[in-house]
Amino acid sequence: MAEKERARARDLVQRHLASGDALGWFEALYARAAGDASIIPWADLMPNPNVVTWLDQHQIAGAGRKALKIGCGLGDDAEELARRGFSTTAFDISASAIAWCRRRYPQSPVAYVVEDLFRAPSEWQGTFDFVLESYTLQVLPSFLRRAAISHVAAFVAPPGTLLVVSRGREADEPQGDMPWPLTKDELTDFLRLGLKQVSFEDYLDDEEPPVRRFRVVYRREA
Protein backbone atom coordinates (compact mmCIF):
# COMPACT_ATOMS: atom_id res chain seq x y z
CA MET A 1 0.00 0.00 0.00
CA ALA A 2 2.79 2.44 0.91
CA GLU A 3 4.48 1.98 -2.47
CA LYS A 4 1.18 2.52 -4.27
CA GLU A 5 0.58 5.75 -2.37
CA ARG A 6 4.18 6.85 -2.91
CA ALA A 7 3.66 6.42 -6.66
CA ARG A 8 0.51 8.53 -6.49
CA ALA A 9 2.35 11.21 -4.53
CA ARG A 10 5.15 11.23 -7.10
CA ASP A 11 2.62 11.73 -9.87
CA LEU A 12 1.12 14.62 -7.92
CA VAL A 13 4.56 16.16 -7.48
CA GLN A 14 5.36 15.92 -11.19
CA ARG A 15 2.08 17.54 -12.17
CA HIS A 16 2.66 20.45 -9.82
CA LEU A 17 6.28 20.87 -10.92
CA ALA A 18 5.17 20.89 -14.55
CA SER A 19 2.77 23.72 -13.77
CA GLY A 20 5.48 25.73 -12.00
CA ASP A 21 4.08 25.09 -8.52
CA ALA A 22 6.81 23.26 -6.58
CA LEU A 23 5.06 23.38 -3.20
CA GLY A 24 1.33 23.17 -3.88
CA TRP A 25 1.29 19.41 -3.94
CA PHE A 26 1.62 19.16 -0.15
CA GLU A 27 -1.80 20.67 0.45
CA ALA A 28 -3.26 18.75 -2.49
CA LEU A 29 -2.04 15.47 -1.00
CA TYR A 30 -3.30 16.08 2.55
CA ALA A 31 -6.62 17.45 1.32
CA ARG A 32 -7.13 14.43 -0.95
CA ALA A 33 -6.41 12.08 1.96
CA ALA A 34 -9.39 13.55 3.83
CA GLY A 35 -8.33 12.03 7.14
CA ASP A 36 -7.12 8.70 5.75
CA ALA A 37 -3.49 8.42 6.86
CA SER A 38 -2.84 5.48 4.54
CA ILE A 39 -2.92 7.96 1.63
CA ILE A 40 0.14 9.78 3.04
CA PRO A 41 3.22 7.68 2.17
CA TRP A 42 5.32 8.86 5.12
CA ALA A 43 2.54 8.89 7.76
CA ASP A 44 3.42 6.01 10.10
CA LEU A 45 1.35 7.51 12.95
CA MET A 46 4.32 7.20 15.27
CA PRO A 47 7.47 9.26 15.88
CA ASN A 48 10.27 8.76 13.38
CA PRO A 49 12.46 5.96 14.83
CA ASN A 50 15.58 7.59 13.38
CA VAL A 51 14.78 10.63 15.49
CA VAL A 52 13.69 8.77 18.63
CA THR A 53 16.85 6.64 18.61
CA TRP A 54 19.02 9.75 18.63
CA LEU A 55 16.94 11.46 21.32
CA ASP A 56 17.21 8.36 23.50
CA GLN A 57 20.93 7.86 22.91
CA HIS A 58 21.67 11.41 23.98
CA GLN A 59 19.05 11.51 26.73
CA ILE A 60 17.58 14.70 25.34
CA ALA A 61 15.38 16.61 27.77
CA GLY A 62 13.68 19.82 26.80
CA ALA A 63 12.51 21.45 30.02
CA GLY A 64 12.91 25.20 29.72
CA ARG A 65 13.90 24.97 26.05
CA LYS A 66 12.10 25.84 22.82
CA ALA A 67 11.88 23.41 19.88
CA LEU A 68 10.75 23.75 16.29
CA LYS A 69 9.60 20.90 14.05
CA ILE A 70 9.87 21.72 10.35
CA GLY A 71 7.26 20.19 8.04
CA CYS A 72 5.39 18.51 10.89
CA GLY A 73 2.98 16.43 8.79
CA LEU A 74 0.59 14.66 11.15
CA GLY A 75 2.42 15.74 14.29
CA ASP A 76 4.06 12.60 15.68
CA ASP A 77 7.59 14.02 15.94
CA ALA A 78 6.32 17.29 17.41
CA GLU A 79 4.40 15.40 20.07
CA GLU A 80 7.54 13.43 20.92
CA LEU A 81 9.47 16.66 21.46
CA ALA A 82 6.69 18.02 23.66
CA ARG A 83 6.63 14.76 25.64
CA ARG A 84 10.31 15.32 26.40
CA GLY A 85 9.58 18.73 27.86
CA PHE A 86 10.24 21.12 24.98
CA SER A 87 8.00 24.10 24.43
CA THR A 88 7.28 23.02 20.87
CA THR A 89 6.19 24.85 17.75
CA ALA A 90 5.41 22.76 14.68
CA PHE A 91 4.54 24.02 11.24
CA ASP A 92 3.53 22.74 7.86
CA ILE A 93 2.70 24.47 4.60
CA SER A 94 -0.48 22.38 4.34
CA ALA A 95 -3.48 23.82 6.17
CA SER A 96 -5.12 20.39 5.93
CA ALA A 97 -2.15 18.77 7.67
CA ILE A 98 -2.25 21.29 10.52
CA ALA A 99 -6.00 20.86 10.96
CA TRP A 100 -5.40 17.10 11.06
CA CYS A 101 -2.78 17.52 13.81
CA ARG A 102 -5.18 19.56 15.89
CA ARG A 103 -7.88 16.89 15.52
CA ARG A 104 -5.46 14.12 16.48
CA TYR A 105 -4.12 15.99 19.50
CA PRO A 106 -6.88 18.31 20.75
CA GLN A 107 -5.22 18.73 24.17
CA SER A 108 -1.68 19.05 22.84
CA PRO A 109 0.69 21.70 24.22
CA VAL A 110 2.29 21.93 20.76
CA ALA A 111 1.64 25.14 18.85
CA TYR A 112 0.61 23.86 15.40
CA VAL A 113 0.73 26.60 12.78
CA VAL A 114 0.38 26.89 9.01
CA GLU A 115 3.57 28.40 7.64
CA ASP A 116 5.70 28.26 4.51
CA LEU A 117 9.36 27.52 5.27
CA PHE A 118 10.38 30.12 2.69
CA ARG A 119 8.18 32.80 4.29
CA ALA A 120 8.45 31.88 7.95
CA PRO A 121 7.95 34.66 10.54
CA SER A 122 11.02 36.82 11.00
CA GLU A 123 10.66 36.54 14.78
CA TRP A 124 11.51 32.83 14.51
CA GLN A 125 15.06 33.61 13.43
CA GLY A 126 17.60 32.67 16.08
CA THR A 127 14.80 31.66 18.45
CA PHE A 128 14.85 27.88 18.92
CA ASP A 129 17.15 25.87 21.16
CA PHE A 130 16.42 22.69 19.20
CA VAL A 131 15.35 22.47 15.55
CA LEU A 132 14.28 19.19 13.98
CA GLU A 133 14.40 18.75 10.21
CA SER A 134 13.38 15.17 9.36
CA TYR A 135 12.39 14.20 5.82
CA THR A 136 11.38 17.67 4.56
CA LEU A 137 14.48 18.61 2.56
CA GLN A 138 14.29 15.29 0.72
CA VAL A 139 10.83 16.05 -0.68
CA LEU A 140 11.90 19.45 -2.01
CA PRO A 141 13.28 19.60 -5.57
CA SER A 142 17.01 20.28 -5.76
CA PHE A 143 16.60 23.85 -7.02
CA LEU A 144 14.89 24.81 -3.74
CA ARG A 145 17.25 23.11 -1.32
CA ARG A 146 19.92 25.76 -0.89
CA ALA A 147 17.30 28.37 0.02
CA ALA A 148 15.50 25.86 2.25
CA ILE A 149 18.71 25.05 4.12
CA SER A 150 19.33 28.75 4.66
CA HIS A 151 15.92 29.18 6.27
CA VAL A 152 16.32 26.07 8.42
CA ALA A 153 19.71 27.23 9.72
CA ALA A 154 18.33 30.67 10.58
CA PHE A 155 15.91 29.22 13.15
CA VAL A 156 18.70 27.92 15.42
CA ALA A 157 19.38 30.05 18.49
CA PRO A 158 22.89 30.75 19.74
CA PRO A 159 23.57 28.36 21.41
CA GLY A 160 21.29 25.79 19.84
CA THR A 161 21.16 22.43 18.10
CA LEU A 162 19.84 21.31 14.72
CA LEU A 163 19.14 17.65 13.98
CA VAL A 164 18.77 16.73 10.30
CA VAL A 165 17.58 13.28 9.20
CA SER A 166 17.28 12.48 5.50
CA ARG A 167 17.81 9.88 2.83
CA GLY A 168 21.37 9.95 1.54
CA ARG A 169 23.24 9.26 -1.71
CA GLU A 170 26.59 9.80 -3.36
CA ALA A 171 26.96 12.85 -5.59
CA ASP A 172 27.46 10.66 -8.68
CA GLU A 173 24.37 8.55 -8.03
CA PRO A 174 21.10 9.47 -9.74
CA GLN A 175 18.66 11.21 -7.44
CA GLY A 176 15.83 8.93 -8.54
CA ASP A 177 12.22 9.64 -7.67
CA MET A 178 10.79 11.62 -4.78
CA PRO A 179 11.82 11.42 -1.97
CA TRP A 180 15.10 12.65 -3.43
CA PRO A 181 18.13 11.66 -1.29
CA LEU A 182 20.53 14.41 -0.27
CA THR A 183 24.28 14.43 -0.85
CA LYS A 184 26.91 15.27 1.72
CA ASP A 185 27.92 18.27 -0.37
CA GLU A 186 24.41 19.72 -0.17
CA LEU A 187 24.52 19.46 3.60
CA THR A 188 27.79 21.43 3.80
CA ASP A 189 25.66 24.51 3.19
CA PHE A 190 24.80 24.40 6.89
CA LEU A 191 28.49 24.92 7.65
CA ARG A 192 28.69 27.89 5.32
CA LEU A 193 25.80 29.40 7.26
CA GLY A 194 27.74 29.42 10.50
CA LEU A 195 26.74 26.12 12.07
CA LYS A 196 29.30 23.67 13.42
CA GLN A 197 28.95 19.98 12.56
CA VAL A 198 28.93 17.91 15.74
CA SER A 199 28.34 14.46 14.24
CA PHE A 200 27.52 12.84 10.90
CA GLU A 201 26.04 9.33 10.75
CA ASP A 202 25.77 7.56 7.40
CA TYR A 203 23.93 4.27 7.86
CA LEU A 204 21.35 1.81 6.61
CA ASP A 205 18.11 1.86 8.58
CA ASP A 206 15.89 -1.03 9.60
CA GLU A 207 13.37 -0.71 6.79
CA GLU A 208 12.81 -3.57 4.35
CA PRO A 209 14.64 -3.05 2.09
CA PRO A 210 17.08 -0.89 4.10
CA VAL A 211 17.32 2.81 3.23
CA ARG A 212 20.53 4.82 3.42
CA ARG A 213 20.15 7.66 5.90
CA PHE A 214 22.14 10.68 6.95
CA ARG A 215 21.65 11.80 10.56
CA VAL A 216 23.55 14.98 11.22
CA VAL A 217 23.85 17.18 14.29
CA TYR A 218 24.79 20.84 14.00
CA ARG A 219 25.42 23.43 16.66
CA ARG A 220 25.29 27.21 16.63
CA GLU A 221 27.76 28.49 19.17
CA ALA A 222 26.90 31.27 21.59
pLDDT score of 2 more than 80: no
DSSP the chain: -HHHHHHHHHHHHHHHHHTT-SSTHHHHHHHHHTT-GGGSTT--SS--HHHHHHHHHTT---TT-EEEEES-TTSHHHHHHHHTT-EEEEEES-HHHHHHHHHH-TT--SEEEE--GGG--GGGTT-EEEEEEESSGGGS-HHHHHHHHHHHHHTEEEEEEEEEEEEB--TTS---SSS--B-HHHHTHHHHTTPEEEEEEEEE-SSSS--EEEEEEEEE--
Please state which CATH number belongs to domain 42-220: 3.40.50.150
How do residues 133-163 score in pLDDT, each as one tens digit?
999 999 999 999 999 999 999 999 999 999 9
Query: Over the chain, what is the mean pLDDT?
Result: 96
How do residues 67-112 score in pLDDT, each as one tens digit?
999 999 999 999 999 999 999 999 999 999 999 999 999 999 999 9
**pTM greater than the 0.75 cutoff:** yes
